Chains A and B, each alone.
Chain A
Amino acid sequence: MSTTFTCLNSLRRVFGPETGRVLSTPAFHQNPLWLSHQREMSRVKQRTTHPRYTWTKKRRERHDQELTSDNQAFLGQVILQKYGPAYQDGSSGMPWVSPLKDLHHERTEWTSKSLRVGVIAKKIGVHPMWDDKGNRFMTTLLQVVDNHIVKYIPPETVAKNYPDSRFRPELGILLVGAQSADPQLFTKEYCGLFQEAGILPKVRLHRFAITPDAYLMPGTPLYASHFFAGQYVDVIGKTVERGWQGVMRRWGFKGMPATHGVTKSHRRGGNTGGGGEKGRVWPGTKIPGHMGSRWRVHKGLQIVRINSKYNVIYIRGVSVQGDPGSYLCLRDTCLPLRRAAVASTPPPFPTYFPEELPQSHGEGDSYASSVFKFTEPSITFEENR
């Protein structure tokens, strides 16, 4: 596998990131986030089953038998004192911020070139919905669970400390955390990541590339109302784990006939290559193997409904990757035509603050256009004359 990776890197060095560029269109609108559109070798399936070496150790081995129940209770009190009532709050999904925390900073105006932060959401289920003509479609529910900004990394530091990053040089990084958890589960180093923000350590951490004008202070909570109904988002997440799969399911091979003399080869792959000088199985050849549990980006999915009371986003379709209960990153889409379709409505920038719009927070759902609301009467069609 390592030889394949160096082969890929050498390919990148030979052909370079600038080769794929079309010089006639503005670079930003070609791809606002990445330096180039270069496609990876789609045949090679990369997965890592271990954390990257640059990351801090996350989970801690617990031996609760060493502590008496009194000491355990005392630890709970210490954590409560340090972090506040957020430690006792159950999994309601709504982010808690200390009222003493000052999250105000100089606010900037939204421009068409601004890139805002995304959110981390949990896939909770699938519901049917209907449009105003009576046509049924399925929607996936994603709950924005307890999101807080953890850290901001300015563009200069990104260039210096993240040399392999493919982000454009003018972009900074916002680190977002989802789903607070008991600090006793994690190592001291991991808990230290959240000290600056003053929040409980999070189960999930993800990066979002932003323009510096979309800066948010560490500790700022993020809500489902960060998006608006009708806009398009990209969903990044891990696909469903399928285990070891054969060539028909994994690569879509057609197999061989069930009868007519076919010997023991109804679902097999057949030939794996030729002979001659390159008489070996080439790297990237499609054979049975592990399938699923890969990071994938599904672009341009529409938000049809937002529930601000429970922080739930309804996305059209069932194409959201992963099992129910898995975490996903949502961000404004990079697809230019879908961005243009909703360009007339400026999004909450840099994010949605409930204190600025208190009457809308927690009050009913917002819907995309031409979606049937269950509070409306039944759909009837009028006679055409």
Chain B
Amino acid sequence: MIGRTMLAGYKTLVRLALNAYPSCLQAQVRCSSSSNKLFQVQPGSPSLSTSAKVSLEPSEEVTTSNSQLESSHNNSDVKESSNPRTRQTAQRELEDTFTPFRYVYPEFLPDPNLKFRNRIKEKLERLDMLHRRSQVDIPEFYVGSIMSVTVSDVNAPGKTTTFVGICMQREFTGLKSNFTLRNVVDGMGIEICYDLYNPTIQNITCLRLEKRLDDNLRYLRDAPLEYSTFPFDMTPEVKNPDAPVPINPLKIKLNPRPWTAKWHLWDLKGIEDVSHTLEDWQLRKLKTWKFLTGDEVKNVDLMKTYRSTIPVEEQVEIYSEFAPQLVSISQSMKKQKRKRTFSKPTKSA
């Protein structure tokens, strides 16, 4: 049962989050509020000056932490409606409010395998993740985005190493979550897998924020090297903050066989059609494969979907608990970035 004031508070949070992560799926958020006040950051909103001062404990009651943000709203206590129709719409509104978080912070959702689910463990993990995020800005990125990572390296000159590459895949959840960057160095394809919450990472920057047609780009290993080559001195591309994340519709032409995997059996949309290279028996096998595991079956197999995803109600619960902290962290990171770009000219000699 969600009261009106709480719902309004959540919407404010989402607007703030969207301002911080401009290229979030704004188009998909169906917030019905029309007030322009929501786009302005409230004067008394929490900011993270030093992580030691502000506690990053999950708020037991979200209304109390949003008190400053809700100052402009009507604070009259609206009685919770017992009408099931309004309850349903309220729940649906809440779900819509937190839909963007699912894409910007996917690793906050736990592993859906019931054998490993435990509320306390997940809570502690999220707390650690929040603490780490307050030290390092982990930007929004997707598979297909081009990123630059600076890591402390004992063996490198200057004790840091920077690597630029295209994000090939994102695996696991929580503190174990990682992403793999691929690039070509001296004619050799190089892939480096980074833990998202590794403390030796000094900086993660998203140089080009975009999506591809597939969830992972492992087929780049069997594609011409041009598709994986990105210059190391690439500058971050400034995008329109109100625009949704662009989807790159590139279709890659794979090298002739042999391949490292049976790409024709994977449901890949980012490669050119390879069925003309297949033998008759392979085509028949592909047909059976698609019949057993294709999209038609996936859409109907409810239990499979249930086992491999977190229910929406739980997602709302998770994100609503940490939304204030995530928003305040993103705001403070933005402030720090702006501070850093300005450098005072120093006298030489």
Contacts and interface: CB of A to CB of B under 8 A. Distances in A.
Contacts of A23: none
A127 interface: yes
A324 B115 contact: yes
B154 A375 contact: no
Interface in A359-385: 372-383
B195 A136 contact: yes
28 contacts: A124-B121, A127-B175, A128-B195, A128-B197, A130-B198, A130-B200, A134-B198, A134-B199, A143-B120, A307-B124, A310-B124, A324-B115, A324-B118, A373-B131, A374-B128, A374-B131, A374-B135, A375-B135, A376-B199, A377-B135, A378-B152, A379-B200, A380-B152, A381-B152, A381-B153, A381-B154, A382-B159, A383-B159
Interface string A228-265: 00000000000000000000000000000000000000
A382 B201 CA distance: 15
Contacts of B153: 381
Interface string B37-68: 00000000000000110000000000000000
A375 B121 contact: no
Contacts of B124: 127, 141, 307, 310, 312
A125 interface: yes
B108 to A, nearest CB: 15
B152 A136 contact: no
Interface residues of B, number: 33
A312 B195 CA distance: 24
A93 interface: yes
B198 A125 contact: no
B73 to A, nearest CB: 32
Contacts of A310: 120, 123-124
Interface string A29-50: 0000000000000000000000
A325 B118 CA distance: 9
A156 interface: no
A312 B152 contact: no
A382 B121 CA distance: 35
B228 interface: no
B123 A378 contact: no
Contact of B198 (A136, A312, A324, A381): A136
Interface of B: 51-52, 115-116, 118, 120-121, 123-125, 128-129, 131-132, 134-136, 152-154, 158-160, 174-176, 195, 197-202
Interface string A284-320: 0000000000000000000000010010100000000
A134 B115 contact: no
Nearest to A381: B159
A377 B336 CA distance: 14
B133 to A, nearest CB: 9
Interface residues of A, number: 28
A41 B134 CA distance: 55
A289 B299 CA distance: 42
Contact of A378 (B52, B116, B128, B200): B200
B199 A130 contact: yes
B202 to A, nearest CB: 5
A378 B202 contact: yes
B159 A127 contact: no
Given A378-B135, A378-B136, A372 B159 contact: no
Contacts of A376: 135, 199
Contacts of A378: 135-136, 152, 199-202
B126 to A, nearest CB: 11
B199 A372 contact: yes
Contacts of A182: none
Interface in A328-385: 372-383
Contacts of B118: 124-125, 324-325
A380 B121 CA distance: 29
A323 B115 contact: yes
B116 A324 contact: yes
B123 to A, nearest CB: 7
Contact of B152 (A323, A325, A379): A379
A375 B152 contact: no
Given A376-B135, A381-B159, A383-B159, A127 B121 contact: yes
A125 B159 contact: no
Nearest to B122: A125
A249 to B, nearest CB: 20
Given A127-B125, A324-B115, A134 B120 contact: no
Contacts of B198: 130, 134, 136
A94 to B, nearest CB: 11
Given A125-B116, A324-B116, 8 more contacts: A127-B124, A128-B175, A324-B115, A325-B118, A374-B199, A375-B135, A379-B152, A379-B199
A127 B158 CA distance: 31
Contacts of B121: 124-125, 127, 141
Contacts of B116: 125, 324
A136 B123 CA distance: 21
Interface string A114-133: 00000000001101101000
Contacts of B174: 127
- Of B115, B128, B197, chain A has the most CB atoms within 10 Å of the CB of B128
A304 B166 CA distance: 36
A380 B120 contact: no
Nearest to A364: B55
A220 to B, nearest CB: 23
Contacts of A374: 128-129, 131-132, 135, 197, 199
A312 B51 CA distance: 23
Contacts of A125: 116, 118, 121
Nearest to A143: B120
A136 B176 CA distance: 11
Nearest to A125: B121
Nearest to B55: A364
A263 B159 CA distance: 59
A323 B134 CA distance: 33
A381 B200 CA distance: 9
B45 to A, nearest CB: 22
B330 to A, nearest CB: 17
A128 B152 CA distance: 19
Nearest to B156: A381
A293 B197 CA distance: 35
A127 B120 CA distance: 12
